[in-house]
Amino acid sequence: MAKDKKLMQSDICNGCGICVSVCPQNTKLSKADDFDSNTAKLAIYVTKGAAVIDSAVCIACGICTRNCPVASLTIVLA
Ligand code: SF4
Ligand code: SF4
């Protein structure tokens, strides 16, 4: 889905983690029998106080952009 687009992150992220919890890719991955939150490759995750996007996993659906409280995430043309 939407691989002509990609998700971009700005430096105003406050690390709240809402994007991580609303991401459908993360939800799908977390349902795997062998899911380990310490080692899983998620579409978006928070580390060192800021969200990090894994573009290999993110499908650029845009759901996180609509849930970020500070509008730190945007979908752009790839
Ligand atoms: S754009 Fe969609 S798949 Fe990518 S991190 Fe946001 S919610 Fe997850
Ligand atoms: S990108 Fe937005 S929703 Fe995600 S951790 Fe940062 S501030 Fe929170």
Encoding tokens for residue 44? 């978006």
DSSP assignments along 38-60, one per residue: TT---SEEEETTEEEE-TTT---
Rounded distance from Cα 9 to ligand 2 centre (Å):
9
Q: Which residue of 3, 6, 25, 66 sits with most ligand 1 atoms within 8 Å of its CB, as the best mutation to test the pocket?
A: 25
**pTM of the full structure:** 0.93
Domain at 5-77, CATH from 3.40.50.1100, 3.40.220.10, 3.30.70.20, 2.70.170.10: 3.30.70.20
How many other C-beta atoms lie within 10 A of the C-beta of residue 13? Answer: 17
* Residue that the structure tokens 């939800």 belong to: 27
Atom of ligand 2 nearest to the CA of 15: 5
pLDDT of residue 37: 84
Q: Which residue of 64, 66, 76 sits with most ligand 1 atoms within 8 Å of its CB, as the best mutation to test the pocket?
A: 64
Which amino acid, residue 3?
K
Domain regions of the chain by residue span: 5-77
The pLDDT profile of the chain, 78 residues, written as one tens digit per residue, is 557 999 999 999 999 999 999 999 999 999 999 999 889 999 999 999 999 999 999 999 999 999 999 999 999 998
pLDDT of residue 2: 54
